[in-house]
């Protein structure tokens, strides 16, 4: 596997400092010089010279990596410099054990298909699926064109399943199936209320189950598990190999708009403490939970009024290979009444480092930090005069969330196993360990005199397109490609038109709804299934079952 590794002294991948001109308003004249490890320890090493770069990417997570890789195809002459405060790529939310790795395409997540009268509203589900198809196409293009290496390292076919019990829920699931099954993007979905079907497909969940409580399943064979950490590393390796620079252990502390429209980005080498500045014509703040803070620092008016509310997640990870081997699906249930959408319980097969694993969760936790490796002052420090009312407003209206979080925090180990038994009736504590997942920062947006809490993502960009950042975390990494295309369209409207032919090679359905074009959908589906090796798998291709070890460490 190509990997982004930590370099002890230089801390950089690739070479090339640049002083492009005429960017981002139009033409970029590249003035790139090759430099050696010796010449440049870090862009912040020279006391007198402010290094110049066309693009600064803040953070080495899936979003920055995706944007960097796309830009490499569109404008290979633009210099790209990535700064990551930690010592590894994808060490925050994009790490495979910090998220659930579900290729979110609304095949199984019931929060995307709310009940509506006697039926089900599928509009959100169709939208999420459309977005995932965009990501799938870019990844397929990446594999076919040497941007991405072995697809098995980051994407694997795992059935996506919705599971409910209780008569009312069974009725809802039947209606969901009726609404989705005829739709081209959801073709192949199966529905069953049968105990035999259940026991045959989900043996671990069937053992010890009391079927007097009726069950039902929506089963889609063509779901995926995605190791977003491995994907990030492959994309970033490509950025490095094609001339971009990636600096680990470098934290972006501030950014200041210059009179020529560029940004002076203040960066601190976290090991030496040295602080210097880099001049960039475009800055993307892909800092995950750290994005709000930097958007606020930028002073752009578009960031005003935004706040963030952190919710941490915990998973139970199975340590018993015999149990792991008995389950091969991502099974999503129904969230408890009043619980937020990201709390939907799920029992998830994972494929990480070529090994099969199993997790259950999420259980909510709470910490004022905005990053797993953040600070307790993150939340209080994010309260500004311009977002105080939004934050207070949410505090008043979201009492349900507060109540839910308190309930979750009160849970002990026995309570967690009791929750797991809804899925695995014979679960015992000895087979599962509690791990802390990534930190989500939910978006608080100004609304009227108060604010509203959102569970999606929001791209925030300056009017002149010189800086953009991504807030929020849902549907998350699965939609990294459409989210980054959105950033490009907003920030580079003129270039975007010129880029379209190349973009259409990467994403043949660009600008079209696949729901309205089943023939095109079939074409891109067949192509991406082949390129990503997601076709029917045989037993000999199944990943090894094991207790998977952490793949990224900080
Ligand atoms: C519990 C949980 C489950 C999830 N499940 C799924 C799922 O099943 N499917 C899915 O698609 N998505 C899922 N997500 C969402 C997904 O993980 C995120 O949307 C995605 O990883 C965010 O990527 P990112 O690049 O924006 O942020 P991150 O991966 O967090 O990367 C941001 C990087 O920026 C760095 N950084 C921060 N501040 C600075 C600074 N000032 N200077 C330099 N570097 C900085 C951080 O160290 C970090 O490496 C889940 C998230 C959580 C928390």
Q: How far is the CA of 180 from the centre of ligand 1 (A)?
A: 30
d(CA 417, CA 340): 21
Q: What is the mean pLDDT of the chain?
A: 87
Q: Is the CB of 444 under 6 A from ligand 1?
A: no
Q: Give the number of the atom of ligand 1 that is nearest the alpha carbon of residue 440.
A: 53
Q: How far is the CA of 228 from the centre of ligand 1 (A)?
A: 9
Residue of 4, 44, 59 to mutate, ligand 1, most atoms within 8 A of C-beta:
59
292 and 471 Cβ atoms separated by less than 8 Å = yes
Q: How far is the CA of 103 from the centre of ligand 1 (A)?
A: 15
431 and 325 Cβ atoms separated by less than 8 Å = no
Q: Is the CB of 473 under 6 A from ligand 1?
A: yes
Residue of 91, 100, 476, 487 to mutate, ligand 1, most atoms within 8 A of C-beta:
476
400-433 pLDDT per residue, tens: 777 777 777 778 889 999 999 999 999 999 999 9
Tell me: pLDDT of 368 over 70: yes
Chain position carrying tokens 């501030």? 254
State the average pLDDT over residues 376-384: 89
Beta pairing, strands 245-248 & 224-226 = unpaired
Q: Is the CB of 290 under 6 A from ligand 1?
A: yes
**pTM, two decimal places:** 0.90
Beta pairing, strands 307-318 & 155-157 = unpaired
Taking CA atoms only, the protein residue closest to ligand 1 atom 20 is 477
Helix 123-144 crosses helix 228-241 at what angle (to 10 degrees)? 40
Tell me: pLDDT of 350 over 90: yes
Q: Is the CB of 478 under 6 A from ligand 1?
A: yes
Q: Is the CB of 252 under 6 A from ligand 1?
A: yes
- Percent of the chain with pLDDT strictly greater than 90: 71
Taking CA atoms only, the protein residue closest to ligand 1 atom 9 is 102
Taking CA atoms only, the protein residue closest to ligand 1 atom 53 is 438
Taking CA atoms only, the protein residue closest to ligand 1 atom 15 is 476
CA-wise closest residue to 25 among 357, 498, 400, 362: 498
- Percent of the chain with pLDDT strictly greater than 70: 86
Q: How far is the CA of 474 from the centre of ligand 1 (A)?
A: 10
> Under the phi-then-psi rule, with left for phi > 0, alpha for psi from -120 to 50, and beta for the rest, what region is 86?
beta
Burial class of residue 501 in the structure, from the number of CB atoms within 10 Å of its CB (0-12 exposed, 13-18 middle, 19+ buried): exposed
Strands, DSSP E only, in 258-406? 263-269, 275-285, 307-318, 330-332, 346-352, 355-365
Q: How far is the CA of 477 from the centre of ligand 1 (A)?
A: 8
d(CA 90, CA 244): 17
49-80 pLDDT per residue, tens: 679 999 999 999 999 999 999 999 999 999 99
- Start-end of H helices in 301-398: 321-325, 378-382, 388-397
Q: How far is the CA of 35 from the centre of ligand 1 (A)?
A: 31
pLDDT greater at residue 368 or residue 366 = 368
Q: Is the CB of 437 under 6 A from ligand 1?
A: yes
Residue 435, beta-bridge partner list: 315
d(CA 492, CA 159): 38
């Amino acid at each position: 596997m190509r990997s982004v590794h930590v370099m002890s002294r230089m801390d950089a991948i690739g070479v090339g400092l640049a002083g492009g001109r005429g960017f981002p308003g139009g033409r970029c004249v590249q003035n790139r010089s090759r430099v050696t490890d010796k010449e440049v320890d870090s862009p912040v090493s020279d006391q007198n010279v402010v290094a110049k770069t066309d693009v600064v990417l803040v953070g080495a997570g899936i979003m920055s990596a995706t944007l960097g890789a796309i830009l490499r195809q569109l404008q290979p002459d633009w210099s790209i410099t990535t700064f990551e405060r930690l010592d590894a790529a994808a060490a925050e939310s994009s790490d495979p054990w910090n998220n659930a790795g579900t290729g979110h395409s609304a095949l199984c997540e019931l929060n995307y298909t709310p009940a509506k009268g006697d039926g089900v509203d599928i509009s959100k589900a169709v939208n999420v699926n459309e977005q995932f198809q965009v990501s799938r196409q870019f990844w397929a293009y990446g594999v076919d064109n040497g941007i991405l290496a072995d697809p098995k390292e980051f994407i694997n076919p795992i059935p996506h399943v919705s599971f409910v019990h209780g008569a009312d829920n069974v009725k809802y699931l039947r209606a969901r199936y009726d609404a989705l099954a005829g739709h081209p993007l959801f073709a192949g979905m199966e529905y069953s209320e049968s105990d035999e079907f259940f026991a045959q497909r989900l043996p671990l969940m069937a053992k010890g189950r009391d079927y007097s409580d009726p069950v039902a399943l929506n089963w889609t064979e063509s779901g995926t598990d995605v190791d977003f950490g491995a994907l990030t590393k492959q994309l970033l390796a490509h950025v490095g190999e094609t001339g971009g620079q990636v600096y680990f252990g470098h934290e972006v502390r501030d950014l200041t708009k210059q009179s020529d429209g560029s940004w002076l980005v203040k960066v601190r080498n976290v090991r030496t403490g040295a602080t210097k500045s880099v001049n960039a014509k475009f800055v993307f703040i892909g800092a995950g939970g750290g994005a709000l803070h930097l958007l606020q620092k930028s002073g752009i008016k578009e960031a005003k009024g935004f706040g963030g509310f952190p919710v941490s997640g915990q998973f139970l990870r199975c340590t018993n290979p015999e149990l792991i081997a008995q389950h091969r699906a991502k099974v999503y249930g129904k969230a408890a009444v009043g619980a937020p959408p990201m709390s939907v319980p799920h029992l998830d097969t994972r494929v990480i480092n070529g090994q099969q694993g199993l997790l259950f969760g999420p259980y909510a936790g709470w910490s004022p930090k905005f990053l797993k490796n953040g600070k307790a002052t993150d939340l209080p420090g994010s309260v500004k005069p311009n977002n105080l009312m939004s934050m207070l407003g949410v505090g008043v209206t979201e009492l349900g969330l507060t109540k839910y979080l308190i309930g979750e925090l009160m849970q002990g180990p026995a309570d967690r196993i009791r929750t797991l038994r809804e899925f695995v009736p014979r679960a015992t504590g000895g087979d599962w360990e509690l791990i802390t997942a990534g930190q989500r920062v939910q978006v608080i947006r100004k609304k009227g005199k108060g604010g509203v809490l959102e569970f999606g993502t929001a791209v925030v960009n300056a009017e002149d397109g010189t800086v953009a950042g991504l807030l929020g975390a849902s549907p998350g990494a699965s939609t990294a490609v459409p989210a980054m295309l959105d950033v490009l369209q907003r920030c580079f409207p003129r270039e975007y038109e010129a880029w379209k032919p190349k973009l259409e090679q990467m994403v043949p359905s660009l600008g079209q709804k696949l729901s309205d074009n089943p023939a095109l959908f079939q074409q891109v589906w067949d192509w991406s299934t082949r390129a990503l090796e997601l076709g029917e798998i045989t037993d000999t291709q199944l990943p090894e079952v094991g207790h998977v070890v952490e793949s990224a460490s900080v």
